[in-house]
């Protein structure tokens, strides 16, 4: 779960422009664990990397990975067992 800055595209489709360059808070769900950390992406040509609160890069498992971009200024994220 990647917390991101969003702004309206101001079009008829109610689309949002999502900022994915920079850094922010993240919650990673992997192997049955919840890891609170951060995401970082310095350039459009690089991939997003996720880090623990101790700034250790989190390795993602092989296979399908789902990243949910959630606006930092709207709503909350709640994870229930």
User: pLDDT tens for residues 41-80?
Assistant: 999 999 999 999 999 999 999 999 999 999 998 878 888 8
Q: Specify the pLDDT at position 46.
A: 95
pTM attached to this predicted model: 0.83
Q: How many angstroms separate the Cα of 7 from the Cα of each of 4, 11, 17, 71?
A: 10, 11, 5, 9
DSSP state, 46?
A: S
On average, the pLDDT of the chain sits at 91
Q: Strand pairing partners for 71?
A: 4
Confidence of residue 15 (pLDDT cuts 50, 70, 90): confident
Structure tokens that stand for 60 in this block: 């993602």
Q: Specify the pLDDT at position 26.
A: 96
């Amino acid at each position: 779960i990647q917390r991101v800055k969003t702004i309206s595209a101001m079009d008829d489709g109610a689309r949002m422009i999502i900022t994915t360059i920079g850094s922010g808070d993240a919650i990673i769900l992997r192997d049955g664990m919840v890891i609170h950390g951060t995401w970082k992406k310095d350039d459009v040509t690089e991939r997003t990397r996720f880090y623990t609160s101790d700034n250790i890069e989190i390795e993602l498992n092989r296979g399908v990975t789902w990243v949910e971009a959630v606006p930092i200024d709207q709503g909350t994220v709640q994870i229930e067992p």
